[in-house]
A and B are shown apart, each in its own frame.
Chain A
Amino acid sequence: MTDITPPKDPSRLSLALQSDFVYQFKRSPVAVVSFAITLILVLGAVFAPLIAPYNPFDPASLNLMNGFSRPMTPNAFTGDSFWLGTDDQGRDVFSTILYGMRISLFVGAAAVAFAMVLGITLGLLAGYVGGWTETIIMRIADVQLTFPSILVAMLIFGVAKGVTPVEYRDQMAIWVLIIAIGLSDWVQFARVVRGATLVEKNKEYVAAAKLIGRTGPAIMVRHILPNVLSPVLVIATISLALAIIAEATLSFLGVGAPPTQPSLGTLIRIGQGFLFSGEWWILLFPAVTLLALALSVNLLGDWLRDALNPRLR
């Protein structure tokens, strides 16, 4: 965040490194460890094609002879070791996890981004415009909040699946998933932004902006928005952990990422089938990865909330 500083201005970088925020970060072992784990996992997902020893989606590299290899056993053909074993089709579990994490993180991040844009827009409108706009937006938010978000996401997914023609369903599944999780999660953002906007819009700088003739949209985006962003950042981080878990849950239930584009949840769904016959590694490693990812992002969010709110220290 703060370390993205232009190199020609060294004073700002050193300033950022000496800031209270960075000091708090260094002092908290939980924050450092969870940040490190998140970073490693994200880098692993981003550079999956470079790191993964095999491409699990390339049929040419697969061989059924390698199916159900235990962890650390060698490939029957090349002699390379399968670190985390293989699944029924001889796919390297380590590689499928890296690629699966890509999809999990992409869906999670895109869903949160979508929820954030939608929530911020509606929250700003509700807070700044008020009147009927506010009543309608906040009533919809209240109604949606009575239902658990995972249920809302499932319903949206089901309807979207019904609307998509059969031949496009698998291709569209990822995007439908993003929209479903995003739509189930915007309320949090809208509520916080509306609350903060109600406070900000009565401050003098907004009156000054009105006085020099700035229009409503410009005031909302250029003046109020920057001042309501820090709680949004906290919610976004915690939402990311929740979105990753929501995606995994939907995929596990078979109403999410399709087997052709497996996310961590899909991998766990596949692995569950082999648990009874003793092939535990197909399930265990994706599950541990999912847990590590969700837990570290969650802890990071918790820390961020405390760090950005001095009153809690």
Chain B
Amino acid sequence: MLAYVIQRVAQSALVLLVVGLVAFSMFRFVGDPIDNMLGQERTQADIERLRVVLGLDQPFVVQYYKFLEGAVQGNFGVSYRQGRPVSDILIERAPATLELAAVSGFLAISIGIGLGVFTAIRRNGIGANVIMSASLIGVSLPTFLIGILLIYLFSVELGWLPSFGRGETVDIGAWSTGFLTASGLKALILPSITLGLYQMTLIMRLVRSEMLEVLRQDYIRFARARGLRERAVNFRHALKNTLVPVITVTGLQLGSIIAFAIITETVFQWPGVGLLFINAIQFVDIPVMAAYLMLISVMFVGINLIVDLLYFAIDPRLRVDRTGGH
């Protein structure tokens, strides 16, 4: 067990080192940092001085080490475009993305599991069939089209909800939240549905197929024979036993929610980290791109590690296989 954990952690660290190398190479070789920081009127002496200040005169390995050291401390340099430290910009933008992701994740899990149970129990009902067909369309529609469709319907035609931005936000320390104002909450509705829809259909289909599997088991029949209520059978006995794969998949999907937030944030002009990243690509703002790459890698690798270890903790059969009997 311990050997496996150590091996997994070491693998994750190696992946992060490699991603760090990629991010550092972007820093170092894509565009000339000196060109980006000094204006047209520069002298050779200026260039030399800045080279020393930035440490560009030192060997590659030393520079890479310094970069990693800075990255661990949250120091990613200065944005070419905004002229401010990247870490400040990221901290300022993070709450918007995290709140959006949290609401979408919540919607996806609660509605996804609810609809999954419903479609499994009423397998042949009209409602279940309609939901299943609708989910097919939901899976094949690209995210940005869903967003545009919702904007057209609820903002342009009906005029109920705002089509862009976060509405009014309240600052709690460094965290600006949209949860506390009516306009902030209203602004969250469309983007979070857009972002969570794909994950919702995924979770729903997964819960449905797992439920159908479980409902055929003997212990469900026995539970019914014992005279338990339908609700107790469905939720206490059946749903509980479908949750292991659901937890794993949901965990892995958390990462995709953050990644797909890029698209949603662009459609709704949501001032989060994803929009920052897209603008960084458009204007070739390398420090921001590198920082985003590092940040998202830490998150993805971390989620993967946790899910792997969770799996290991939940399913005892895996433990026996990997360690050869102990």
Contact of B30 among A159, A268, A298 (CB under 8 A): A159
Residue of A nearest to B286 (CB): A162
List the A side residues contacting B293 at CB < 8 Å: 155
Contact status A252-B300, CB under 8 Å: no
Q: How large is the interface on A (under 10, 10 to 19, 20 to 34, 35 or more residues)?
A: 20 to 34
A to B contact number (C-beta, < 8 Å): 89
With A249-B144, A287-B145, A294-B140 as contacts: A158 and B301 at CB distance below 8 Å: no
Interface size for B (C-beta < 8 A) is 38
Contact status A154-B262, CB under 8 Å: yes
How distant is the Cα of A294 from the Cα of B142 in the complex, in angstroms? 9
With A154-B262, A276-B156 as contacts: A255 and B281 at CB distance below 8 Å: yes
List the A side residues contacting B259 at CB < 8 Å: 147-148, 150-151
Residues 155-187 of chain A, each 1 if its beta carbon lies under 8 Å from chain B, else 0: 101110111000000000000000000000000
Contact status B148-A148, CB under 8 Å: no
List the A side residues contacting B96 at CB < 8 Å: none
How far, in Å, is B253 (CB) from chain A's closest CB? 10
Contact status B26-A162, CB under 8 Å: yes
How far, in Å, is A260 (CB) from chain B's closest CB? 16
CB under 8 Å from chain A, chain B span 279-319 = 280-282, 284, 286, 289, 293, 296-297, 300-301, 304
Query: Interface on chain A toward B: helix, strand, loop, or mixed SS?
Result: helix
With A162-B31, A275-B151, A275-B152 as contacts: A154 and B144 at CB distance below 8 Å: no
**By CB atoms of chain A within 10 A, which of B145, B286, B293, B296 has the most?**
B145
A216 is an interface residue with CB less than 8 A from chain B: no
How distant is the Cα of A294 from the Cα of B137 in the complex, in angstroms? 12
Contact status A283-B148, CB under 8 Å: yes
List the B side residues contacting A253 at CB < 8 Å: 144, 262-263, 266, 278
List the A side residues contacting B277 at CB < 8 Å: 154
B54 is an interface residue with CB less than 8 A from chain A: no
B260 is an interface residue with CB less than 8 A from chain A: yes
Query: Interface on chain B toward A: helix, strand, loop, or mixed SS?
Result: helix
Residues 269-313 of chain A, each 1 if its beta carbon lies under 8 Å from chain B, else 0: 000100110001001000100110011001000000000000000
B141 is an interface residue with CB less than 8 A from chain A: yes
B15 is an interface residue with CB less than 8 A from chain A: yes
B79 is an interface residue with CB less than 8 A from chain A: no
How far, in Å, is B24 (CB) from chain A's closest CB? 12
CB under 8 Å from chain B, chain A span 204-261 = 245, 248-249, 252-255
A146 is an interface residue with CB less than 8 A from chain B: yes
How distant is the Cα of A245 from the Cα of B142 in the complex, in angstroms? 7
Contact status A162-B284, CB under 8 Å: yes
List the A side residues contacting B26 at CB < 8 Å: 159, 162
List the B side residues contacting A248 at CB < 8 Å: 142, 144
A143 is an interface residue with CB less than 8 A from chain B: yes
How far, in Å, is A251 (CB) from chain B's closest CB? 10
Contact status B144-A255, CB under 8 Å: no
List the A side residues contacting B151 at CB < 8 Å: 275
List the B side residues contacting A155 at CB < 8 Å: 289, 293
List the A side residues contacting B148 at CB < 8 Å: 268, 272, 275, 283, 287
B18 is an interface residue with CB less than 8 A from chain A: yes
Given contacts A287-B145, A298-B140, 9 further A-B contacts (CB under 8 A): A143-B18, A147-B297, A151-B262, A155-B289, A159-B26, A248-B144, A252-B263, A268-B148, A280-B152
User: Which B residues are closer than 8 A to A by beta carbons?
Assistant: 15, 18, 26, 30-31, 140-145, 148, 151-152, 156, 163, 255-256, 259-260, 262-263, 266-267, 277-278, 280-282, 284, 286, 289, 293, 296-297, 300-301, 304
The 8 A-B pairs of least Cβ separation, nearest first, read A162-B30, A158-B281, A148-B259, A162-B284, A151-B259, A255-B281, A252-B144, A245-B142
User: Which A residues are closer than 8 A to B by beta carbons?
Assistant: 143, 146-148, 150-151, 154-155, 157-159, 161-163, 245, 248-249, 252-255, 268, 272, 275-276, 280, 283, 287, 290-291, 294-295, 298
